[in-house]
Amino acid sequence: MKNIRRFFAAALVLALFVSVSVSISGSASADAVYRTLDEILADGTVNIGVFSDKYPFGFVDENGEYQGYDVYFARRIGEDLGVKVNFVSTEAANRVEYLETGKVDIILANFTVTPERAEKVDFALPYMNVALGVVSPDSRVITDLKQLGPEDRVIVISGTTAEDYLIKNNPEITLQKYDTYANAKNALENGNAAAWANDNTEVIAFALENEGYTVGIPSLGSQDTIAPAVSKGNETLLNWLNDEIRALAGEQFFHKDYEETLVAVYGLEYEDSLVLEGGGLTE
Amino acid sequence: MPDLGLEVLWKGRNFIRLLEGLWTALRISLVSALISILAGILLGVLAGRKRSVFRFILRGWLAVIHIMPQMVLLFLMYFGTSRAFGWNLSGEASAIIVFSLWGTAEMGDLVRGAVGSVPVIQRESAEALGLKPPQVYLMIILPQAVRRLIPQAINLVTRMIKTTSLVTLIGVVEILKVAQQIIEANRRASPNAAFGVYLTVFVMYYLACRPLTLMSKQLEKHWR
């Protein structure tokens, strides 16, 4: 009897929770969650979601100030809108959620444009390129995948786009898979493999930090891009952002951004391959 | 001594930022703890009575809180309410609501148990002396019950302080997030900073929780 009652009590409260969550998912697209451009201007503050621990794209410096490539752009957006910027610390996993609930107006957190994400959020014009890169020891720099012989192995990290790409396009290459960046880097340093393939920003940073390695292939396969994103359907803000990005090309804003924030990590030689001006359309 | 990268703590405002992060964590957990203790005592007393509808509610509430990870509750409160009802709760408010819901359920159960453990003869004697039911509770039963539940209540509060590390997922920057920010911003200059910074965070959590456990020990001794 006691157990039955306890069961009913739990069931009742659980039913309440389920009904709430059902109504949550049901009403997700019911009305506009986002703030239009006019509403942001009237409020005087724009909420921008950035990373707070992804050096050098979005991080917090020793004075507690947000800094980085994405943040530099976010500040400019605030300046040109004429409003204050309220930075919201986001994680990779909750970026879409923040836009779907309108808790931030714009996400500027190294957000790679993918078709799956584009179904849930609206991407503005891109402001950075990201592609795959291959780093190898100076003793034998791999500049073309054809240089790899049957005994050569290539390190990848499981679940990355590099792994998918090589399996699909170069099935003849033997892959050596690791779960963590630390293990992959150790393996390369120990000479376990001929090269390491990953996002080019990662391998470039590795080559610059470690003597004796060169990025022989700085960009492999399809180019992906990084762009600001707004809530699905927020056209006024999206159009403003696109106009802003086009206008900023005139002063080569993102080159300046790169020189202020990324040059310490990537050096000047990658500036033109990483930076996109005017969404890459005007060039 | 191995290189712990402790020098990053003295860069700029880093150490102060960690303390501010600790204060955020403590603010959320202590406000929630206060609400939980007051609401929990009320709920526990109400649920302690036989054939009370509150007993039924408390059971269901507890069952849900126990099966739901706190993180799910935080997401539901922060993102879910803005989808469902269009509320725009701040991260900190959402955290306090969730922690209070959790704490009230657990505290209510503790109080119910503690009240139940006070011998029936105490209540009967008090009633025989002519005390009214509220007086019986306030003057006879609760003072005895509270002594019995102090250790578990303190345990609940320290668990709350530690669970605040989850609130970074709803945008609240607390001590652990500040630690990660410091480590990542200095990864190139001080690659070993992770050890030193996490060690500092460990000491800070310890110093925050230790007075509570000491107080609990003192009270137990005092009331024995």
* pLDDT for res B148: 86
- Nearest chain B residue to A88 by CA: give it: B171
Mean pLDDT within A131-150: 92
Residues 6+ apart with CB under 8 A from B74: B94, B95, B98, B166, B167, B169, B170
Q: Do residues A233 and A122 both lie within one domain?
A: yes
* Nearest residue, CB atoms, A27 vs list B12, B83, B169: B83
Query: Would the CB atoms of B171 and A88 count as touching at under 8 Å?
Result: yes
Please check the confidence at residue A16 and state whether its pLDDT lies above 80: no
Which of these three, A223, A244, A265, is where a domain ends? A223
Which of these three, A185, A201, A223, is where a domain ends? A223
CA atoms within 13 A on the CB side of A41: 9
* pLDDT for res A175: 94
Q: Do residues A134 and A174 both lie within one domain?
A: yes
Please check the confidence at residue A97 and state whether its pLDDT lies above 60: yes
* pLDDT for res A196: 94
Q: Do residues A186 and A203 both lie within one domain?
A: yes
pLDDT class for A22, splitting at 50, 70, 90?
low
* pLDDT for res B99: 96
* pLDDT for res B191: 76
Show pLDDT as tens, one digit a residue, over chain B (224 residues).
Answer: 677 888 889 989 999 999 999 999 999 999 999 999 999 999 998 888 777 888 888 889 988 988 889 999 999 999 999 888 888 899 999 999 999 999 999 999 999 999 988 999 998 999 999 999 889 988 999 888 888 888 899 999 999 999 999 999 899 999 999 998 998 888 777 877 888 999 999 999 999 999 999 988 888 888 77
To the nearest whole angstrom, how far is the Cα of B210 from the nearest Cα of chain A?
28
B180 neighbourhood in chain A, CB within 8 Å: 53
Tell whether B54 is within 8 A of chain A (Cβ): no
Is residue A177 domain-resident?
Answer: yes
Is residue A193 domain-resident?
Answer: yes
pLDDT class for A2, splitting at 50, 70, 90?
low
To the nearest whole angstrom, how far is the Cα of A246 from the nearest Cα of chain B?
31
Q: Do residues A111 and A153 both lie within one domain?
A: no
* pLDDT for res B137: 87
Is residue A29 domain-resident?
Answer: no
Is residue B55 within 8 A of residue B49, CB to CB? The reply is: yes
CB pairs under 8 A between A and B: 110
Tell whether A4 is within 8 A of chain B (Cβ): no
Work out the percent of chain A whose per-residue pLDDT is above 70.
Answer: 88
Mean pLDDT within A25-43: 76
ipTM of the complex in this document:
0.82
* pLDDT for res A96: 92
Q: Do residues A169 and A236 both lie within one domain?
A: no
Is residue A2 domain-resident?
Answer: no
Q: Do residues A115 and A238 both lie within one domain?
A: yes
- Nearest chain B residue to A48 by CA: give it: B171
Q: What value does the mean pLDDT of chain A take?
A: 87
What are the pLDDT digits (tens) for A208-262? 878 899 999 988 877 889 999 999 999 999 999 999 999 999 999 999 999 999 9
How many domains does one find in chain A? 2
* Nearest residue, CB atoms, B64 vs list A13, A60, A64: A13
Is residue A147 domain-resident?
Answer: yes
Q: Do residues A103 and A232 both lie within one domain?
A: yes
Please check the confidence at residue A93 and state whether its pLDDT lies above 90: no
What are the pLDDT digits (tens) for A159-168? 777 888 899 9
B168 neighbourhood in chain A, CB within 8 Å: 89, 91
Query: Would the CB atoms of B82 and A101 count as touching at under 8 Å?
Result: yes
Q: How many CB atoms lie within 10 A of CB A165?
A: 17
Is residue A127 within 8 A of residue A228, CB to CB? The reply is: yes
Tell whether B173 is within 8 A of chain A (Cβ): yes
Is residue A250 domain-resident?
Answer: yes
Tell whether B184 is within 8 A of chain A (Cβ): yes
Domain at B6-223: CATH architecture: Orthogonal Bundle (1.10)
**Domain encompassing residue A135:** 130-223
* Nearest residue, CB atoms, A27 vs list B84, B169, B182: B84
Is residue A206 domain-resident?
Answer: yes
Which of these three, A185, A206, A223, is where a domain ends? A223
* pLDDT for res A23: 55
Query: Would the CB atoms of A103 and B78 count as touching at under 8 Å?
Result: yes
Tell whether B185 is within 8 A of chain A (Cβ): yes
Mean pLDDT within A133-157: 92
CATH of the domain at A181: 3.40.190.10
Q: Do residues A151 and A262 both lie within one domain?
A: no
CA atoms within 13 A on the CB side of A177: 10
Query: Would the CB atoms of B181 and A91 count as touching at under 8 Å?
Result: no
Is residue A239 domain-resident?
Answer: yes
Query: Would the CB atoms of B171 and A90 count as touching at under 8 Å?
Result: yes
